[in-house]
Amino acid sequence: MSGTVDASYAGVQGHLDRLIAGVRAELASETAQLGRLDRPDEHGVLPRLLLLDLLLANVLLWLVLPEYALYWITASFFLYVVYPFLLLVPSAESGEDEPAPGRGSPITDRLGRLGLAEHRWLIARIFWNSFFINSQPLVPAFLGVYGLNLVFALFGDYGLLGWLIGFQSAAIMLFYLAIAVFRPYTGGFLESLIDIQNDVSGKIHRRVAPLWRVVLPIGIAAGLVGLLLIAAMLLPGFTLGVIWKSSATVTGLGFVPVLFVLVCQVVLVRYTQGASSRRLVRQLLERKIAILNRHVLAPLDEYRREADRASPGILDRFATDFSGIRATFLSSKVYRMQRQDLGGLFPVWVVVPDLELLLNSETIRILDEQPDSRQIL
């Protein structure tokens, strides 16, 4: 009997050793990435000089070109359309952030046999979080670019076109302000939506107020949010088309100053996004390291020490706690932080889902069964 007990403890010890080694490897990788974030950028002076020169050039153009405001406005809507595609440009230093072994293997051959449909809401939430967290570093620059649009629209003589420009620019600013204020990628945001849903459902079932008083505010709020989303995400292309058709100033040779201003705006947004995304990713990495140390490595180390002492009940306690520890560890690995640049300049940091992890049916099942496991967001 004692031999069976000893074998059980030995098996747990070996399992814990493998788990602890994996967690320590993950911690070493994230600590190294945090160190790269803190490393001075060897190209830091050149982007600042280039940005300063372009800003001074724009001031000069504003002084000498009567139609500069329209050039800026037109370029800003081109910016909104083309800027997301810059994230697809390969980085000059892409080798620096290669995925760890086993995290970047081909996945397309597995799509047809994974059976992930039942976990679609979890996968959708992960991509939702990734979109909004990568939008947050754009807030300062977009507020500046489209805030200037508002100024030009208010003080310019554009007639109905000015109202369209003002409305579109205000919608974009409100959209990004809402991201900065509500942070829809956090667990707190989703919990607040659930609380609202439960509150509305409770009021309807208890009939504490007429149905229309409960439903009408929710309907108005949902309508406003829908209008904001449509105006901010779908209408900029329409607004650009209206400007393009209604003003000959920005066509033909007039597109040359628009293109120059567009390049200036790209540099401005990219530089600001780089600084904001560096701070954001540093916070996420620090939070991930803290979670791994406190809620994964520490309990595993404690169970390892108890296994050495053959403490009574350790096997049962470890079996009970293991699923939560495992879910926390996997939750910390769902998102990867990547560095992207333009020809080695203007680096930004983005948070992307780890597709190799997401397309593992066992991983998704574990995460879906532990929705309250600690997140790094």
278 in any annotated domain: yes
**How many Cβ atoms sit within 10 Å of the Cβ of residue 377?**
20
Q: Hunting for tokens 């849903």 — which residue is that?
A: 197
> What pLDDT was estimated at residue 192?
57
> What's the token pair of residue 229?
């989303």
374 in any annotated domain: no
98 in any annotated domain: yes
377 in any annotated domain: no
Alpha helices in 234-254 (DSSP H): 236-246
Residue 282 near residue 34 (C-beta atoms within 8 A) = yes
Strand partners, 72: none
Average pLDDT, the chain: 82
Strand partners, 349: 339
**How many Cβ atoms sit within 10 Å of the Cβ of residue 279?**
12
**Number of domains the chain is built from:** 1
Question: Which residues constitute the domain of residue 312?
Answer: 2-102+116-369
**How many Cβ atoms sit within 10 Å of the Cβ of residue 329?**
22
Strand partners, 337: 351
pLDDT tens per residue, range 309-336: 777 777 788 888 888 898 899 988 899 9
Q: Among residues 94, 12, 35, 55, which one has the least CA distance to residue 271?
A: 55
Beta strands in the chain (DSSP E): 335-342, 345-353
108 in any annotated domain: no
274 in any annotated domain: yes
155 in any annotated domain: yes
pLDDT tens per residue, range 232-263: 877 888 889 999 888 878 888 889 999 999 99
* pLDDT: which is higher, 21 or 103: 21
> What pLDDT was estimated at residue 14?
84
376 in any annotated domain: no
